[in-house]
Amino acid sequence: MINHIDVSSMLRKSVCELYSNLVTRPTGAAVRCEIEQELDRIGDRALTVIDFSHVGLLDFSCADEIVAKLLLQYVSTDAPRREVYFVFRGISESHMEAIETVLERHKLALVTQHADGRTRLLGIIGLEERLAWEIISQLGAGAVADIAEATGLSRDAAERMLDTLWRRRLLIRYDDGYVAVGSATTRSEPLRLDA
Amino acid sequence: MKSAKATETSVLLEVTSISKSDDVHEVVDKIQQRAQDALVKNLNLDAKITMRFTMALSEVCQNIVEHAGRGGWVAVQTYTWRVRLGGRKVVVIAVADPGIGFRKSLESAPGFQRKDRWDDGQALEETVMRGASRFRDPGRGQGLAGVRRFVGNWDGKLSIRSGSARIAVLPKGDWDEDEPLLEDLPYFPGAQVQITIPERVA
């Protein structure tokens, strides 16, 4: 199922009912812990929308704690904490600088979704990987052969590319195919990852 | 905060004590309400600056909480300069703490190794220009780099004094003729940070 986490609510729940700005490292760490507890409750595979719509200011320390440190636990190529995929919504222009800075610092990438449903990648990602992700995103979903054909890659190269994007949690792997993370949140039917 | 050349001051944030994370939240909440008018209407700056300005304020206040080892103070004020900038207005964030200072903070890093030349000036260069931090966490050290980018984007000036040195990130425009690094200054325990953003003129 797709879960929705409102970051502003997490802030009010974990730090102070009156705060609307994500500033200071202790605040960021407290909000991340609250998000992690929420994720712990929703099973081993999950697609989660992290919503910044009601967040005022986001500083570098909070972006590092809430975005980078959260992602690092779930996109680790060696031992990810769990199979969790994230879509970030409500990222405003003023949040962007802090988020892009921390993604760059940790060589991470994420999927962000605009109000009109369009998705795009933010952060550090190779040109070929980005292109492949965009093509898969347009396709919505597909098996390795479909994606190899659409991207013009050999089957082996397509498999490697898909595996890389999956490990970075930018694609969801299911049965014999893949779906781009952002596409999954715009499907009319809720996507069940535990199927 | 005082200047012989300054007149017509306006206080955006009175001298406020900072010693814990909650103090930073309160300062940020307070300044957001007041900064929009001061920066956009009075200094003719783009509306985008309000959030960036508040971020910079938050970062320099956090330096006190994270690194000083004791509390400090922050104040924000606008001035109209008579000589420099030909009578233009500026907004100034001033932060000071009597803590351990930049050099001792870096020296407390696990595994810290003193370089051949190591002094207050080097510590300021490492921190401000290269994002060094006493923490091993690679996510640290981004705050002052962000502040540096902020002042660069708005033709502002950042200066930080700690120990016997003072480093300055100077504006691209010609309104300030300061030196990028001053050393052998009278010793100041802790740190003084000043951010100056000038009014935009057509």
Q: Report the C-alpha gap between A99 and A7 in whole angstroms.
A: 14
Question: Bigger pLDDT: A16 or B1?
Answer: A16
Which 8-state DSSP code applies to residue A193?
T
Q: Report the C-alpha gap between B25 and A174 in whole angstroms.
A: 43
pLDDT band at B3 (very low <50, low <70, confident <90, very high): very low
Cβ-count burial B35-60 (b if 16+ within 10 Å, e if not): bbebbeeebebeeebbbbbbbbbbbb
Bridge partners of residue B169, in order along the sequence: B158
The rounded mean pLDDT for chain B is: 87
Q: Report the C-alpha gap between B110 and B120 in whole angstroms.
A: 19
Query: What is residue A187's predicted lDDT score, i.e. its pLDDT?
Result: 44
Bridge partners of residue B78, in order along the sequence: B10, B91
pLDDT band at A188 (very low <50, low <70, confident <90, very high): very low
pLDDT band at A192 (very low <50, low <70, confident <90, very high): very low
Query: What is residue A190's predicted lDDT score, i.e. its pLDDT?
Result: 39
In contact, B79 and B92? CB cutoff 8 Å: yes
Mean pLDDT of A190-194: 45
pLDDT band at A160 (very low <50, low <70, confident <90, very high): very high
Is pLDDT above 50 for A191? no
Where do the domains of chain B lie? 6-198
pLDDT band at A184 (very low <50, low <70, confident <90, very high): low
pLDDT band at B66 (very low <50, low <70, confident <90, very high): confident
Of A16, A59, A105, the CB nearest to B55: A59
Query: What is residue A54's predicted lDDT score, i.e. its pLDDT?
Result: 92
Q: Report the C-alpha gap between A61 and A67 in whole angstroms.
A: 10
Q: Is 1.10.1740.10 the CATH number for B6-198?
A: no
Of B21, B22, B142, the CB nearest to A101: B142
Is pLDDT above 60 for B121? yes
Is pLDDT above 60 for A151? yes
Q: Specify the CATH number of the domain A2-184.
A: 1.10.10.10
Is pLDDT above 50 for A194? no
Query: What is residue B8's predicted lDDT score, i.e. its pLDDT?
Result: 65
Where do the domains of chain A lie? 2-184
Interface of B with A (CB under 8 A): 21-22, 24-25, 28-29, 32, 48, 51-52, 54-55, 58-59, 62, 65-66, 138-140, 142-143, 145-146, 149
Q: Report the C-alpha gap between B79 and A168 in whole angstroms.
A: 50
Cβ-count burial A14-24 (b if 16+ within 10 Å, e if not): bbeeebbbbbb
Query: What is residue B6's predicted lDDT score, i.e. its pLDDT?
Result: 45
* ipTM for the predicted complex: 0.81
What tens digit of pLDDT does each residue of B127-165 get?
888 877 777 777 787 888 889 999 999 999 999 999 999
In contact, B142 and A101? CB cutoff 8 Å: yes
Which 8-state DSSP code applies to residue A58?
B
What tens digit of pLDDT does each residue of B86-115 get?
778 999 999 999 998 889 888 887 777 777
Q: Average the pLDDT over each of A35-44, A59-68, A127-136 and give the range with the smallest value.
A: A35-44
Name the token pair of B80. 């109209």
Of A25, A57, A59, the CB nearest to B66: A25
Q: What are the CA-CA distances from residue B14 to residues A162, B77, B93 (Å)?
A: 55, 8, 11
Q: Which long-range contacts (CB under 8 A, 24 or more apart) does B147-151 make?
A: B147/B56, B147/B59, B147/B60, B147/B195, B149/A97, B150/B52, B150/B53, B150/B55, B150/B56, B150/B195, B151/B56, B151/B195, B151/B196, B151/B197
Q: Average the pLDDT over each of A97-101, B62-66, B163-167, B194-198 and give the range with the smallest value.
A: B62-66
Flag if A23 and B25 touch (Cβ within 8 Å). Answer: yes
What tens digit of pLDDT does each residue of B68-83 get?
778 999 999 998 887 7
Bridge partners of residue B201, in order along the sequence: none
Q: Report the C-alpha gap between A138 and A147 in whole angstroms.
A: 11
The rounded mean pLDDT for chain A is: 87
Q: Average the pLDDT over each of A165-169, A180-184, B147-151 and give the range with the smallest value.
A: A180-184
For residues A114, A116, A120 and A122, what is the CA-based torsion angle, rounded to 10 degrees? -10
Which of A21, A66, A104 to substitute to test the interface with B, most B CBs within 10 Å? Answer: A21
Query: What is residue B2's predicted lDDT score, i.e. its pLDDT?
Result: 47
Is pLDDT above 60 for B120? yes
Under the phi-then-psi rule, with left for phi > 0, alpha for psi from -120 to 50, and beta for the rest, what region is B101?
left
> Which residues does chain A have within 8 Å of residue B52's beta carbon, measured at their own beta carbons?
94, 97
Is pLDDT above 70 for A81? no
Write the CB contacts of A51 (distance below 8 Å, at least 6 apart in sequence).
Answer: A4, A5, A6, A7, A8, A88, A89, A90
Q: Is A86 helix (H, G, I), strand (E, B) or coil?
A: strand
Place of tokens 């500026």: B90
